[in-house]
Amino acid sequence: MSTSMSEKDQYKNRIDLLQGTLDMLILQTLQWGPQHGYGIVQALRLRSGDVLQVETGSLYPALHRLERQGWVQSEWKQSESKQRARYYRITAKGKKQLASDLGRWERIVEAIGLVMYLKPEESES
Amino acid sequence: MKWFPSFGFQRRKRELQEEIDAHLQMAIADRVARGETAETARAEAAREFGNIPLVQDVTRDIWGQGWLEQLGRDVRYALRQLRKSPGFTITATAMLAIAICANSTVFSWINGTMLRPIPGARDTGELVSLQRGERNFSPTPPFSYLDYHDLREQNRTFSGLLAYHNDWIALTGGAQPERVYIANVSANYFDVLGIKPVLGRFFLPEEEARAIPNVVLGYSLWKTRYAKDPAIVGKSIEVARHPVTVIGVAPEGFVGAAPGLRDDLWVTLDPLGTDGWRMTHRDSDWLIVIGRLRPGVSRGQAAEDLDTVMHHIVLAYPDQHLGDNRVTLDPMWRSPFGANGFMAATLPILLAFAGLVLLLTSANVATLTLVRFVSRRRELAIRQSLGANRMQLVRQMVLEGVVISSVAGAVALVLTLWTSKTFAWFFPANSIPLILNGSMDHKVVIGIAVSSLLASMLCGALPAWRSSHAPAIEVLKTESASISGGSRNRKLLSALVVAQIALSLPLLLCSGLFLRTLRNLAAANPGFEQDHVLTASVGLNIAGYSNDEAKLIRRKILDGVSALPGVEVASLTDWIPMTLIQKRDDAYPEGYVPHPHESLLVQNAEVGPRYFESLHIPILEGREFTLNDDETAPRVIIVNETAARRYWPGQDPVGKKLRVGGSLQAVIGVAKNSTHTFLNESPEPMVYMSYFQHPGYETVVQVKTEGNPVDLEPMVENAIHGVDSRLPVFDVRSMRESTQMASTFAVIESTLAGVFALIGLVLAITGIYGVVAYRTQLRTHEIGIRMALGASRVDVLRLVLVQGLWLTGIGLALGLAFALGLTRVIGRMLYGIGANDSITVVSVVMLLGAMSLAACYLPARRAMRRNPVTAIREL
């Protein structure tokens, strides 16, 4: 009981850490068309050149939360390989959210970049 | 295939499982496609996915914020906590179940009587009962047909006014004559009530005042006597030896417009054309009138409207409307016609008592709950420091109360299914077609739910809210020093004990007053002989004999019964006192000028020779009736003292004249006052008329016996049947049994108040015992130190007793103030005792005080006998 509790908390912490970013990544993936959970993991891995490995313990809570918030909709469909799977599709509301997430992300990257690449003489002037 | 988003927890769980399965299947398929063996592919996919149950768990947490699931968790937690202390759970549930059952039982009685005044009728809230003249607790029918007709046609505030008149009659024509209760009704009767026939039709407007012998059967009569004959409509049956035609059958459950009374069949106002006199005379009041208010019209507006119409009638016919003619309206739940007047005077007060019992029980359970929460303080504090917020803790504690009250409510519901039907037990054998009983329906269930909710708020929420205030760190730090749970909880505990004593005192006082009332009633002298008197009703008029036949039969019965051995005196009457039955008629004393609005209605009875002798009522002046006071002799009456004093103050009443029953009659005697209906009634004028001059509608043979009257029952019945074997004889009963009807309500009141007071006493005593014992136990350590430092046993005894006595004293003082306010309400239900009777008050206070003292003494003695050394060691 106690170990599972701490493991669960660990997962939660990771969700919190990634939350905004993971949501954005999922929504971006769904921009290219409806996808199931496994497909999202694969797509993120491929497109990030095997760098981003999303944990299922983060992915599924995130998908269900996004659905609750109305940013995605889900539907059961047959995949190409005749496997019945739950497909998630981005909604209009989700697209708006993605745009604002992206804007925020760019500002953060820009701000971090400003800090990281700051040249000493520039700061003096 | 479209999958609708589902809110069902189980279905969502299944879907998540399926989603994860699909994920794994696709991962395996990909790996196999890349050349892995099925075995390794499965293992690798599972490893990559991670801990499946954990993923499910964290995902469910996202939708687990649904309140229903959380509630389920809290309820399970509450049940687990309650299971841990079965003693508390069972005691609290049982106490609350009894308290809720007390409420729901009385409420089911109210529901079955006052709230369902006319079963089957549409929207009884719109119906009002009309009364004319002086308000009376159990009035006689107030309207003549012509007055009713004018009110009906000329009012502007009613969508309909109906009129009816009840009487006994016999159904003849079968093997055995059957005595049934019949109502003469206006043609719009069923229409105004909103009743539709199950067979045939009801009366037409043009049939109302004409002699058309049509009859509508009640459902139960149709079922029992005519075996639900589907072709009954159009058939001829015999009522009092007259053929009448069945035109319809009323629906099941409908038993007439008089609350609490059962009509068996209905005819129009004068179906045989034999009652022409009362159809055409405005001074013949025989109809009870009920109106349906137009939508949006208040009772006050309607009364004003009717008063205006009545005023015009009085102006046009002043001689027939001498007394008080104001019209008053009552809603059906307290209509004075039928049983609801009595119900309305009794049941709401009993419901208030039951409410007190519920409050008292809730206070008691709250005490137990608080003590429990205080002892669980550490657990609660730990949970709080582990992150449970206060709201969650309070919710869980409240839920424990809700669980207990809900179970108690369910138990009470089952109990009430039975107790609701016990109301009928209170009514002794009588000659009224009473159909009073409690009834269970959605209203009672709602009542139980409300009671449970109230109880759970009082005994769960209050202590929970108080307990949750304790700051966690303080509690955890100070292990034993503040073990009594802080001064806040101590104050609440004290308040609860005080409340219990204060609430039980009025219950005890009222029950004491009711019990003494009952004893006074049993011991009271009603002014006439109750033992050694037997009465038997003979269905002479209802069986349809002609007047001459009936006259002869009466004389023969009187002779036959008088000759029986063991019979001292036999007489005839049409009325038995103290049976809730009254007859009233306008009486106009010659030369008497009534005060404005004075009611001239007086009670009257037709009694035969030696009537007063058979009941031991002294004749103070003049003489009794004799056989010679018959139709050929001048009309004579006997009045009681009250009538004599009121009409002829300071004069000799004998020889004075009074117009009553349509003729001028001479007073030949004055009888001593005796009880008419209730022992606590104020004396009313009474006019006795000679039975052989005005043959009464009822024929009651009244016999004064030498021995036990019950032994003579078969002989009297045989003697009557000896005159004519077809004569219906019924209600053969001793006078003592008949007059029990008058104390029915005192019996109901004292029984319930007694039971409630007993519950109250037990709860208050266990409440104070529990709290004092608990506190003393917590102070064991302190007491040990005190004793080690030299305190004597008496000091310890005093220490413990004083706190209990303080609580008792405050409780008694508050309770006494409350009780004395409350007894004023029951003042008019008492007999032979004042509402603030000092003996009762003092004994009740002493009883409660002494019991509380005993309850405090037990823990005090235990503390006093402790060994100080072990006491100090104990924490």
Angle at B730 between CA B342 and CA B574, to 5 degrees: 65
Domain-wise residue ranges, chain B: 9-65, 124-334, 342-523+744-873, 540-727
Q: Which of B295, B58, B346, B29 is nearest to B157 (CA)?
A: B295
Q: Which residue of B has its CA nearest to A1?
A: B54
Measured between beta carbons, the chain B residues lying within 8 angstroms of A23 are none
Q: Tell me if residue B582 falls in helix, strand or coil.
A: coil
Contact flag B63-A64 (C-beta cutoff 8 Å): yes
Burial string for B768-795 (b: 16+ CB within 10 Å, else e) reads bbbbbbbbbbbbbbebbebbeeebeeee
Measured over all CA atoms, what is the biggest interatomic distance in chain A, rounded to whole angstroms?
A: 65
Closest alpha carbon within chain B to A37: B23
Partners of B55 on chain A (C-beta within 8 Å) are: 56-57, 60
- A38, A40, A45: which to substitute to probe chain B, counting the most B Cβ within 10 Å? A38
Among A1, A56, A78, which would you mutate to test the B interface (most chain B Cβ atoms within 10 Å of its Cβ)? A56
Is residue B847 within 8 Å of residue B808, measured between CB atoms? no
Measured in degrees and rounded to the nearest 5, phi and psi for residue B834 equal -80, 160
Q: What is the bridge-based pairing of β-strands B158-172 and B327-331?
A: unpaired
Measured over the CA atoms of residue A53, residue A55, residue A58 and residue A64, the dihedral's sign is positive
pLDDT of residue B474: 60
Q: Rounded to a whole number, what is the distance in Å from the CA of B44 to chain A's nearest CA? A: 14
Of B22, B61, B62, which has the smallest distance from its Cβ to A36's Cβ? B22
Nearest CA in chain B to A76: B3
Structural domain of residue A74, as residue ranges?
Answer: 2-124
Q: List, in sequence order, every residue forming a beta bridge with B690; answer none if it has no partner.
A: B607
- Please list, residue by residue across A43-70, b when 16 or more beta carbons sit within 10 angstroms of its beta carbon and e when fewer do: bbeeeeeeebebbbbbbbbbbbbbbeee
Quote the minimal CA–CA distance from A55 to chain B in Å: 7
Residue written as token pair 């009906």: B152
Whether residues B2 and A75 touch (CB distance < 8 A) is answered with yes
Asked whether the beta carbons of B323 and B659 are under 8 A apart, the reply is no
Residues of chain B positioned with their CB less than 8 A from the CB of A88 = none
Q: Are B692 and B686 in contact (CB under 8 A)?
A: no
Residues in A lying within 8 Å of B, measured between beta carbons? 4, 7-8, 11-12, 15, 36-39, 42, 55-57, 60-61, 64-65, 68, 75-76, 79, 81, 83-86
For B515, the enclosing helix (H) or strand (E) is helix B486-523
Summarize pLDDT for A48-69 with one digit per residue, the tens. Answer: 887 777 888 888 888 988 888 8
- What backbone phi and psi angles, to 5 degrees, belong to B805? -70, -35
B11/chain A closest Cα distance in angstroms: 14
Question: Which residues from chain A sit within 8 angstroms of residue B15, using beta carbons?
Answer: 86
**Distances from the Cα of A110 to the Cα of A103, A115, A120, B462, B732, angstroms:** 11, 9, 18, 56, 108
- The per-residue pLDDT for A81 is 77
Q: Which of B3, B20, B51 sits opposite A76 (nearest CB)?
A: B3
**pLDDT block averages, 10 residues each, chain B of length 875:** 50 85 89 88 87 80 65 82 88 94 95 93 94 78 92 95 90 80 95 95 92 94 93 92 93 94 94 84 89 94 94 89 86 91 91 94 89 76 66 79 93 94 88 87 93 88 72 55 56 87 93 92 91 91 79 91 93 92 81 70 90 95 92 92 91 90 88 92 91 82 94 93 87 92 90 93 90 83 84 85 88 92 86 90 93 89 80 67
Of B16, B22, B50, the CB nearest to A55: B50
Mutate to test the interface with A, among B31, B58, B60, B63 (most CBs of A within 10 A): B58
Across the interface, of B1, B49, B58, the residue whose CB is closest to A11 is B58
Q: What is the pLDDT of residues B347-385, one digit of tens each?
A: 999 999 999 999 999 999 988 888 887 777 777 777 766
Which percentage of chain A shows pLDDT scores above 70? Answer: 78
Residue B55 has its nearest CB partner, among A38, A57, A85, at A57
Residue B250 Cα to chain centre, angstroms: 27
Q: Taking CA B86 as the corner, what is the angle to CA B83 and CA B91, rounded to the nearest 5 degrees? A: 135
Q: Which residues of chain B make contact with A56, given a CB cutoff of 8 A? A: 20, 23, 49-50, 55
Return the residue of A nearest to B46 by Cα: A56
Are B16 and A65 in contact (CB < 8 Å)? no
Q: Provide the pLDDT for residue A49.
A: 81
Residues in A closer than 8 angstroms to B49, CB to CB, are: 56
Taking CA–CA distances from A35, the nearest residue in chain B reads B23
b/e burial code for range B714-742 (CB count within 10 A of at least 16 → b):
ebbbebbbebbeebbbebbbbbebbbbbb
Beta strands in B310-463 (DSSP E): 327-331
Among the partner-chain residues A8, A11, A85, the one whose CB lies closest to the CB of B26 is A85
Instruction: Give the model's pLDDT for residue B865.
Output: 81
The reported pLDDT for the residue numbered B6 is 41
Question: In this complex, which of A60, A76, A84 lies closest to B55 when CB atoms are compared?
Answer: A60
Look-up of token digits 């009430």: B416
Which of B26, B49, B62 minimises the CB distance to A61?
Answer: B62
Q: Which of B6, B12, B23 to mutate to test the interface with A (most CBs of A within 10 A)?
A: B23
Q: Which of A36, A56, A65 sits opposite B62 (nearest CB)?
A: A65
The alpha-carbon gap from A60 to the nearest alpha carbon of chain B, in Å, equals 6
Q: How far is CA B202 from CA A12, B268, B372, in A?
A: 77, 10, 66
Find the Cα–Cα–Cα–Cα dihedral B351, B434, B612, B574, rounded to 10°. 150
3-state secondary structure B294-314: CCCCCHHHHHHHHHHHHHHHH
Check residue B64 and give its pLDDT: 57
Chain segment B408-445, per-residue pLDDT in tens: 999 999 999 999 999 989 988 888 888 888 998 999 99
Q: Hey, are the CB atoms on B62 and A68 less than 8 Å from each other?
A: yes
Distance, in angstroms, between B14 CA and closest chain A CA? 12
Contacts of A15 in chain B (CB under 8 A): 58
Q: How far is A123 from chain B (nearest CA, A)?
A: 46
Angstrom distance (rounded) from CA B830 to CA B516: 9
Task: Please give the tally of structural domains in chain A.
Answer: 1
Helix, strand, coil tally for chain B in percent (to 5):
55, 15, 30
Least CB–CB distance from A79: residue in B3, B26, B54: B26
A-chain residues near B14 (CB < 8 A):
none
* CA quadruple B231, B236, B239, B240: dihedral sign: negative
Task: Phi first, then psi: give them for residue B673, nearest 5 degrees.
Answer: -60, 140
| CATH (domain of A18) | 1.10.10.10
Identity of the residue in A4, A81, A84 whose CB atom sits nearest the CB atom of B29: A81
* Percentages (nearest 5) of helix, strand, coil residues in chain A: 65, 15, 20
Inter-chain touch A79–B2, beta carbons under 8 Å: no
What is the per-residue pLDDT for B688? 95
B494: closest CA of chain A, how far (Å): 42
Between CA B859 and CA B861 the distance in angstroms is 5
End-to-end Cα, chain A, rounded Å: 59
Of B30, B55, B56, which to mutate for an interface test with A (greatest number of A Cβ within 10 Å)? B55
Q: What's the pLDDT score for residue B473?
A: 59
Count Cα atoms within 13 angstroms, Cβ side, for B161: 23
- Please list every residue in chain A whose beta carbon sits closer than 8 Å to the beta carbon of residue B17: none
Q: How far is CA B188 from the centre of its chain?
A: 31
B415 to chain A nearest CA, in Å?
44
DSSP B595: P
